[in-house]
Amino acid sequence: MTLSPEGVEKLEAKAKALGVSKSELVEQMARDQMSSLAEQELLGEQLTT
């Protein structure tokens, strides 16, 4: 998998905010195991910054 520099930054920020590694975040997203609530909370935080 290849990501743009911006994609890597966003992945790192999201993983850090959720308290997981980048690999774990990608794994959870691929398996569709991310909590909708956790994603909504994170997106809300990102939109306000």
Q: Is the pLDDT of residue 31 over 60?
A: yes
pLDDT at 24 over 60: yes
Rounded CA separation 5/40 (Å): 23
Q: Are 11 and 22 in contact (CB under 8 A)?
A: yes
Percent of the chain, pLDDT > 90? 35
What is the reported pTM? 0.62
Measure the N-to-C terminal CA separation of the chain; round to a whole number of Å: 28
- Residue 4's pLDDT is 94
Most confident of the ranges 27-31, 32-36, 39-43: 27-31
Write out the two tokens for 16: 């850090």
